[in-house]
Amino acid sequence: MSSVSVRIDETLVAEARAAAKAEFRTVQGQVEFWAKVGRAALDNPDLPASFIAESLMSMAESPDEATPFVPRGKK
């Protein structure tokens, strides 16, 4: 994968650093995640951004770590 240098406002980088720490990502990974969420939100304006973010995170989850779906009322 190639990389490109871009200039980003220091405030945004600081916010990405804090979010990355909480989400166990690199700062670069956090900015990339935000970009993916933003692009998906623009492509799907009827979906809440939180749903998009959770969907992207679940798609990145390894099958070994996935929580099996259990419908309500069944145990």
What span, in angstroms and rounded, lies between the C-alpha atoms of 56 and 10?
26
Could you tell me the pLDDT band of residue 75, with boundaries at 50, 70 and 90? low
The pLDDT of residue 2: 82
Average pLDDT over residues 43-58: 93
CA 3 to chain centre: 19
pTM: 0.73
